Structure 1
Amino acid sequence: MHILHDFKFAKRQIAKRPGFAAAVILTLALGIGANSAIFSMINGLMLKPLPYPEGEQLVAVYNTYPKMGLPNAGVSVPDYIDRRDRTEVFQSTAMYTWNGMNLTGEGNPERLLALRTTPSLFEVLRIKPMLGRTLGEEHAEIGNDRAVVLSHGLWQAAFGAREGIVGEDIRLNGEPYEVVGVMPAGFVFPNQNVQLWMPFAFTPQQMSDEERGREFSNMIARLKPGASTEQAQQQVDRIHEINRERAPAGVAEFWANSGFGGRVVNYREELIGELRGPLWLLQVAVAFVLLIACANVANLMLARVTARRRELSVRKAMGAASRRIVAQILCESGLLALLGGFAGLLVAWYGLELLTLAGLGSTNELFDIRLDGTVFAFALGIAMTTGVLFGVVPALAAVRGNTAEVLKEGGRSASSGRGAQLTRSTLVVAQVAIAAMLLVGSGLLIRSFMELQGTDAGFNPEGVLTAGLSLPDNPYDDPAAMRDFHDRLVARLEAIPGVVAAGMTNVAPFEGGNSQSSYSIEGYEPGPGENSPHGMVRRADSGYFEAMEIPVLSGRAFTPEDGPDNPVAVIDEILARRYFPDENPIGRRIGFDDEENPEWFTVVGVVGTVKHSGLDEQVSKETYYLPIRNAAVGSPTLVLRTAMPPAGLIDPLREAVREIDPQLPLTRIRTMEEMIDVSLQTRRAPMLLLMVFAGVALALSAIGIYGVLAYSVSQRTGELGVRMALGARIGDILQLVMRQGGRLVAIGLALGLVAALALTGMISSQLYGVSRFDPFVLIGVVVFLGLIAALACLIPAWRAACVNPIEALRYE
């Protein structure tokens, strides 16, 4: 009965002061909503089960070369077979590699992303098809691998959701493939872009030891119940130890010098990647924002309790127990917090949309990121927690003090004691300190982002348009046919009005390619404990360097005369400095010193170093370029430089490719600036969001400072009137109030900067070119926060200075 009565009483009290209630609810909504939005991201990415039965048993397995700066490499077929057959912790394993397929015969040719996989993949994932069946072991045999499983989306879009498609043939790259099944809606592996799953049938050559080192595939496995990632890692390590013992001396030496081994990682951890750090950083930031909100609300509640001191004293004098008064005030704060929580869910809904637009969160549809029951429970939990946090101090203040003294005042004043004033001041200091911490963090990220944007990528991205092609094996697997196609297409592209230069490469910077290979330098012998040189390898033509404006530092780029009878290479300046520090590398030869089939390329030019994966990349690995005209590249990238807006070239580009071969679809049409912009998302999103949260914290802190000083001035009206009546000037009153607020701000700033310096280690991995002790940021925060705080202090100070002494004395 007491609880129901307290609840009704709390409703009446809130209804009496709708302005007060609105201020509290909106303040809490901001804090609770921001926390709930970030938590929904964390919940979807890190806490919810993956959409596969017992998904936490899934692990990714890589080859690794840590001494060569290559922590994650692909897996060769022999390595996969070793791990499949010689480990006891894996319940099932699968190997897969990416393939691009052109779907023809269903209207215009369509480029599809396919996954060539061992049939065991569906056993590993434990997902059954919606129609038909999945790939069977019989499809893993060469000659019997013309089968395909369709995604639900492709089945609907390209085949009209016909159930009879199972058993029919479709044409992929001009060849017939039998549709054996259709996966259910919502099935994703490894991401939503994959629309086909095809058999990966191993040839005898691929399964031989000679194939070790051809690491173009990925491996996924399911652990047995009770097995751990650490146990799997130990067994994989043991396999590599045994293999090293029986390997030829040269191979064993290479493995030892490179640190070659296997790496087993939880599959979820691999999917989340670099998002974990920014998400936890933002969760900490919004928790601080919520603390500031609680401090503000606590100050509001203290002021309200102070205004009700006479009422509460009367109730105590009439026999009300202190615990009943505390319970009623806590009930009021709890009801306000609950209303703030519901409003916060609305803020979280919009906030989640903004987080997605900002680029935070995974684009992989494997993850279910939304406001669900768990997020609702989280919002309710923090609402109730905040209700206690900001309610307990006012509740305790309500039952302190001398009842008789309050009643003697006769209602002339509702002044509070020193304890309440100290509490308010402490809350303001905490608000300023937290705001300073968030401002330092956001300032460092802003400075870092500015430094990053000004970084030279090694090429000029402005005015560059890129597009992908998918070339079927027939006829483009023949180098002569590839040369003819290349020359005709590039000539046609260069003829497009507005095109300044056009070229082709196997993979453009920021496109996600990680093609690397060991090579030899004629006349160079690695020292003891060293392997042959290892670097990034790219295929390109002369138009590529011109279109990207990659500077040629010495020698020349490729020319049409560089045919298979005249094999040449272009190297970057890192390779030139590393292996030819005191000589001209032009004319030297690099290549592949295979005893059976050696292949050497004469260096004809040195070009500038290019960042391939991101502006924050610390390039330490060299790059060498080989002519693309002389190789069968299945998925080349076209690169065009234009003097007009790149978007205006898309239609002419499509028409040019259609004229050369109408069966070739264009894919991945993007400007280079767009690709760089996407690469910056994981840095931009935390920066923008932390900046927003710091702004909210700053605003709430300024409101808190203003509120405390305004309340203090209202309580000291009589004192100020006496001072002015005795001759105090306006400047004296301004100084008096400003000194009070300035003291609180100074203490808060000092504590905030000390805490910021201690906690900025959390964002050190997000910084580029900026120290976390950057003096420009620290001084800027002090000045900026000091100015805002001074403004918040000035308004109540001016009001105090404008007090009419006569009116003030009457008030007293």
Structure 2
Amino acid sequence: MFSATANDLRYSLRALLARPGFSAVAVLTLALGIGANTAIFSVMHGLFLAPLPYAHGERLVDVYNTYPTSSLQYAGTSIPDYLDRREQAQSLEDLALYTGANLNLAEDGQPPERLVGLRATPSLFSTLSSGAALGRVFDERHAEPGQDKVAVISHALWRNRFNADPGVIGRSLRLSGETYQVIGVMPEDFGFPSRETQLWVPFAFTPEQRGDFERGNEYSQSIGRLRKGATIAQLDAELDAIVARNAERIAGIGGLDPAMAEQAARFAEFLRGGNFTGRAQSLRELQVGETRPLVLILQGAVALVLLIAAANVANLLLARMVSRQKELSVRNALGASRGRIARQLLSESLIVALAGGAAGLLLALGLIELLPRLGLDAAVGRYPITLDLPVLGFALAVSIATGLLAALVPVVSLFRSDLARQINDAGRIGGGGRVAGASRNLLVVAQMALATALLVGAGLLLRSFVSLQQESPGFEPGGTLTAQLALPGNRFPDTASRARLLDEVLREARALPGIEHAAWTSSLPFANSNSQGSYSIDGLEVADASASPHANQRQISDDFFASLRIPLLQGRTFTPGDHGEAEPVVVIDQLLAEKYFKDQPAIGQRIRRGRDAPWATVVGVVGTVKHGSLRDTPGKETIYWPHRQNLGGFGALVLRGPNALAPDTADALRTALGRVDAELPLFNVLSMQQRIALSLDTQRAPMNLVGGFAGVALLLSAIGIYAVLAFSVSQRTGELGVRMAIGAGRREILGLVLGHGARLVAIGLGIGVGLALMLGQLAKAQLFGVAPWDPLTFVAVPPLLAAIALLACWLPARRAARIDPLVALRYE
């Protein structure tokens, strides 16, 4: 058996080398399909299948707060909630809390640099089962205020900033105005929560942060490790039980203080009303997020390309089998069984497929490098995408499967034919007989149908992307430069000191040439930052068991609305008179005004954040803006507070003016910032239009990639129908010569061949449109402003494909019409 197989392979290889043109076309055709599938599968494997880079990563979960009645499904975690769960959740083996830390590194002689940091409890490293590669990680001793000025740095920061110096352990760093000691360097492959994180510092809780009044202050995230055998459902049930116990405990707080007792009772009733609980999800689900449907769409698209490529190669193999009809008949007459001949055809197909797979791997390497430029980087940035062993195994499996699939039609055609009568049948009918001809026609129809579905899908995504780009964000992004900035809380501990610093920064920015407006906001639209919170409206009664209104919360400077040209609809915006000693004021957006003040004036209403905060008077109503994505319909209102009355430490600058986007403006702004405070770095400097463009990556990536694959499918389909008709013409040369000899004109011959091709194209288009309608429903969630049955797309794409396909039909038809009858009869 082994000897026979080896002989088949040797004979097949010689036969393929004897026809280098056929072999090269078949190999390159499969390389396109296999390479594209391998590249996209490498993304799918990295995101969904490869083990997380932590020991027993499948047991890691994200634990978070949720407010079901406030439409706030994911709210982070507060410190007391974390402490409750670490002590009481039996399904958790370990639990850690972490939050972003914007740390400004300042060293003598070097400009300040913003480091991407993480403030984390020491349990982060035990939860992830990770230790330091050099030195050590921090422990519980460092989780106390005053003992927390130590840092663990990433391998990349150690290599790039400190030249991989082992002496960095024990070195002092000035971070945001305070001195930290480096105690460890993490391994090269460690990166949590992303590979961009550069250092980790301890999260030390104050006694106030541990108390019940800190509940609801959810600026952190929590990661846990399930005990062996525990499930997320069990953990969710335990989180519900913790909330129930807290409700009973808090209901008894207050003692002799009536006000505190009333507040505790209201909060306990709020908890009992199902307005708040905790939930868990797998860490992979958290990190992959909305990427799953995107990658599945791309994998489906390249699978269609591979099917078209396989159909093309099947047609080539079928044509080659027909051209070898005499040889195969003679071999059959000499005793070779159909099985032996089929094995020979299968060997040739597998050799072609494996060669195509090898060439496809080279193509896949190039595609993987190209994917970030096509918009997929935002989706896969957390995971290394490489051609590792599982991906190589996938490429091998796909190559073998494609070889078997491509050989299927020729082999079936072989077993359904009578080899003894093939020569006569081929001469009488042309093209190798009825079975072979029907098989070729079926393959062409399949190619056209798949290409139609893919092209319609690409058209829908293109129309969706264009519709999305035309969507207004609620402000004018053109002509604005933005940059993020962190104000160190240790050097500027209160609103007054931060406001004075910020006012100086804004004065310097407005003084730059060609800058008309300079403003600050705590949360910049399309910058992946947000702040939300509950609030109260004077006169609006909320039942004890119901949730308070919930809104996006922004701290802004006077010039913010003018900088982004957010329209003022009622009242006024902020002025320098809205300082810390003045009456508290607030500006709301149109969504809030229509939701709660539809039948009364919004100006003069009072709002406050928190039950103990002073009431702030509404002095203005502005237009509603989109914050994170152009495809979102704003469903949560926004409240704007003046920065002199309420200011945190992190936010962004917005500059507008004729020179805002000039090449030297960012450097001039850094210089101006240095005059105010030499330790404040400017980072993430982008125009607002660039930020919006980055937010469109999840729509741009499938459009670019599916469009590219659809182009490949169209090319393969056109080549396929051309090859079938050209082969048919060559096989029917004698027949066509006879027709012309007895009076058929060139027009009739042209119509005969063109009509054959047109029928195949029409059937394929019809089936493809039906398939596109079904696939459009599956991709409905990825479309914006376009229906899955969009008339314009379905009217425009099929005629375009038909025109290209008919051009491919016309070329062999023209060749047939130019046949000389005498030459054709001599050929016969």
For 1:528 and 1:790, the matched residues in 2 are separated by: 71
Match of 2:188 in 1: 185
For 1:406 and 1:694, the matched residues in 2 are separated by: 38
Q: Which amino acid aligns with 2:498?
A: M
Match of 1:274 in 2: 290
Partner-residue secondary structure (3-state), 1:187: coil
For 2:56 and 2:335, the matched residues in 1 are separated by: 61
Partner-residue secondary structure (3-state), 2:223: strand
Match of 1:153 in 2: 156
Does structure 2 retain, via aligned residues, the 8 Å contact 1:326–1:398?
A: yes
Q: Which amino acid aligns with 1:511?
A: A
Q: Deviation per CA, 1:252-302, whole angstroms, max 9, x where unpaired? A: 443466732112000011111111111111111111111111111111111
Please, which runs of 5 or more residues in structure 1 have no aligned partner? none
Match 2:89 to one of 87, 90, 109: 87
What's the CA shift for 1:443?
A: 0.9
Q: Does 1:170 align with 2:173?
A: yes
Does structure 2 retain, via aligned residues, the 8 Å contact 1:34–1:351?
A: yes
Does structure 2 retain, via aligned residues, the 8 Å contact 1:464–1:646?
A: no
Distance 1:687 1:743, change over 3 A: same
Q: Does 1:116 align with 2:131?
A: no
Match of 2:681 in 1: 665
Match of 2:256 in 1: none
Distance 1:485 1:361, change over 3 A: closer
For 1:159 and 1:785, the matched residues in 2 are separated by: 58
Q: Deviation per CA, 1:32-81, whole angstroms, max 9, x where unpaired? A: 00000001111111111111111111000110113322111111111111
The number of aligned residues is 810
Distance 1:425 1:588, change over 3 A: same
1:419-568 equivalence runs, <5 A: 419-526=435-542, 530-564=546-580, 565-568=582-585
Match of 1:700 in 2: 716
Match of 2:745 in 1: 729
Identity percentage of aligned residues: 49
Match 2:643 to one of 608, 612, 628: 628
1:668-687 equivalence runs, <5 A: 668-687=684-703
For 1:79 and 1:585, the matched residues in 2 are separated by: 36
Match of 2:254 in 1: none
Distance 1:666 1:728, change over 3 A: same
Does structure 1 retain, via aligned residues, the 8 Å contact 2:78–2:216?
A: yes
Q: Which amino acid aligns with 1:606?
A: V
Match of 2:34 in 1: 32
Match of 1:14 in 2: 16
Partner-residue secondary structure (3-state), 1:553: strand
Match of 1:575 in 2: 592
For 1:109 and 1:170, the matched residues in 2 are separated by: 12
Match of 1:588 in 2: 605
For 1:155 and 1:9, the matched residues in 2 are separated by: 58
For 1:743 and 1:99, the matched residues in 2 are separated by: 66
For 1:807 and 1:78, the matched residues in 2 are separated by: 93
Q: Deviation per CA, 1:740-792, whole angstroms, max 9, x where unpaired? A: 12221222112111122122222111111111111111111221122122212
For 1:555 and 1:592, the matched residues in 2 are separated by: 21
Does structure 1 retain, via aligned residues, the 8 Å contact 2:426–2:433?
A: no
- How large is the RMSD of aligned CA atoms in angstroms? 2.0
What's the CA shift for 1:530?
A: 4.5
Does structure 2 retain, via aligned residues, the 8 Å contact 1:306–1:414?
A: no
Q: Deviation per CA, 1:594-620, whole angstroms, max 9, x where unpaired? A: 2xx331211111111110111111101
What's the CA shift for 1:631?
A: 3.0
Q: Does 1:103 align with 2:119?
A: no
For 1:592 and 1:376, the matched residues in 2 are separated by: 56
Match of 2:732 in 1: 716
For 1:223 and 1:283, the matched residues in 2 are separated by: 32
Does structure 2 retain, via aligned residues, the 8 Å contact 1:153–1:185?
A: yes
Report the TM-score when normalising by structure 2.
Answer: 0.94
Distance 1:259 1:727, change over 3 A: farther
Does structure 2 retain, via aligned residues, the 8 Å contact 1:479–1:631?
A: yes
For 1:256 and 1:460, the matched residues in 2 are separated by: 45
What's the CA shift for 1:109?
A: 2.3
For 1:138 and 1:650, the matched residues in 2 are separated by: 42
Q: Does 1:284 align with 2:300?
A: yes
Match 2:621 to one of 606, 631, 636: 606
For 2:759 and 2:71, the matched residues in 1 are separated by: 52
Distance 1:332 1:704, change over 3 A: same
What's the CA shift for 1:163?
A: 2.5
Does structure 1 retain, via aligned residues, the 8 Å contact 2:534–2:610?
A: no
Q: Which amino acid aligns with 1:192?
A: R
Q: Does 1:739 align with 2:741?
A: no
Match of 2:206 in 1: 203
Q: Deviation per CA, 1:395-430, whole angstroms, max 9, x where unpaired? A: 343455444445669999974111111111111111
For 2:30 and 2:133, the matched residues in 1 are separated by: 46
Distance 1:423 1:411, change over 3 A: closer
Q: Between 230-239 and 534-543, report the one with greater CA deviation.
A: 230-239
Match 2:25 to one of 23, 26, 29: 23
Match of 2:396 in 1: 380
Match of 2:257 in 1: none
Q: Which amino acid aligns with 1:496?
A: L
Q: Does 1:220 align with 2:223?
A: yes
Q: Which amino acid aligns with 2:216?
A: G
Distance 1:399 1:575, change over 3 A: closer
Partner-residue secondary structure (3-state), 1:699: helix
Match 1:50 to one of 49, 52, 61: 52
For 1:174 and 1:797, the matched residues in 2 are separated by: 80
Q: Which amino acid aligns with 1:571?
A: I
Partner-residue secondary structure (3-state), 1:768: coil
Q: Deviation per CA, 1:64-112, whole angstroms, max 9, x where unpaired? A: 1133221111111111111111111111110111111222235332222
Q: Between 28-37 and 784-793, report the one with greater CA deviation.
A: 784-793
Does structure 2 retain, via aligned residues, the 8 Å contact 1:554–1:606?
A: yes
Partner-residue secondary structure (3-state), 2:621: strand
Q: Which amino acid aligns with 1:770?
A: V
Does structure 2 retain, via aligned residues, the 8 Å contact 1:309–1:414?
A: no
Q: Deviation per CA, 1:646-702, whole angstroms, max 9, x where unpaired? A: 433111111111111122111111111111111111110011101111111111111
Q: Does 1:758 align with 2:771?
A: no
What's the CA shift for 1:386?
A: 1.0
Match 1:59 to one of 58, 61, 69: 61
Q: Between 210-219 and 197-206, report the one with greater CA deviation.
A: 197-206
For 2:531 and 2:423, the matched residues in 1 are separated by: 83
For 1:483 and 1:356, the matched residues in 2 are separated by: 40
Match of 2:260 in 1: none
For 2:742 and 2:594, the matched residues in 1 are separated by: 82
Report the TM-score when normalising by structure 1.
Answer: 0.96
Please, which runs of 5 or more residues in structure 2 have no aligned partner? 252-264
For 2:274 and 2:528, the matched residues in 1 are separated by: 23
Match of 1:241 in 2: 244
For 1:375 and 1:708, the matched residues in 2 are separated by: 34
Does structure 2 retain, via aligned residues, the 8 Å contact 1:116–1:200?
A: yes
What's the CA shift for 1:802?
A: 2.1
Distance 1:311 1:156, change over 3 A: closer
For 1:409 and 1:610, the matched residues in 2 are separated by: 72
Does structure 2 retain, via aligned residues, the 8 Å contact 1:486–1:629?
A: no
Does structure 2 retain, via aligned residues, the 8 Å contact 1:325–1:399?
A: no
